[in-house]
């Protein structure tokens, strides 16, 4: 059985997906781009975009009773791999050791015209 997670503290999910789903002791957070609650994309350097996406993920995890410390797997999607050095510099600041397993994927386009999207899998905290 799965449980849908939703919060008003992160940008609303499109009607075709959930912000997150809990199943099998895991929290699956849908991809979060660098948009604010009002739907505007954060512009600027990759670190600012990363900060907004991570804030969105944190809020969704909080609605599920978890934190970034619960994250075991992250997938980062970018439209330009030139963003990765700055992301790699900032990314570890969001987690404690051991860092989650991670992959980075370069794609042609992302939703809403974003240049960064992050999805996460976390464990349920007991």
Which DSSP category does 91 fall into? G
Total domains present in the chain? 1
For tokens 């791999």, the residue is: 81
Domain that holds residue 13: 3-123
Classify strands 20-23 and 3-5 as parallel, antiparallel or unpaired.
antiparallel
Are the C-beta atoms of 21 and 65 separated by less than 8 Å?
Answer: no
b (16+ CB within 10 A) / e for 70-88: bbeebbbbbbeeebeeebe
Mean pLDDT throughout 83-87?
97
Q: What is the pLDDT of residues 47-77, one digit of tens each?
A: 999 999 999 999 999 999 999 999 999 999 9
Tokens of 29: 């957070």
Mean pLDDT on 24-38: 96
- CATH code for the domain in which residue 111 is found: 3.30.1330.40
pTM of the full structure: 0.95
Q: Residue 126 — pLDDT band, cuts 50, 70, 90?
A: low
The residue behind tokens 């042609």 is 108
Question: What is the model's pLDDT at position 13?
Answer: 77
- For residue 26, list its beta bridge partners: 23, 123
Q: Is the backbone peptide bond immediately before 38 cis, with ω within 30 degrees of 0?
A: no
Q: Percentage of the chain surpassing pLDDT 70?
A: 99
Q: Hey, is 35 helix, strand or coil? A: strand
pLDDT in tens, 91-117: 999 999 999 999 999 999 999 999 999
């Amino acid at each position: 059985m799965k449980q849908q997670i939703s919060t008003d503290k992160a940008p609303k999910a499109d009607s075709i997906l959930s912000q997150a789903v809990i199943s099998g002791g895991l929290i699956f957070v849908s991809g979060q781009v660098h948009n604010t609650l009002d739907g505007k994309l954060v512009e600027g350097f990759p670190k600012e975009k990363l900060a907004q996406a991570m804030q969105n993920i944190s809020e969704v995890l909080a609605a599920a009773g978890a934190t970034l410390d619960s994250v075991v797997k992250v997938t980062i999607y970018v439209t330009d791999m030139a963003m990765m050095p700055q992301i790699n510099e900032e990314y570890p600041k969001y987690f404690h050791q051991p860092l989650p397993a991670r992959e980075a994927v370069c794609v042609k386009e992302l939703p809403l015209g974003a240049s960064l999207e992050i999805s996460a899998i976390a464990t349920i905290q007991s």
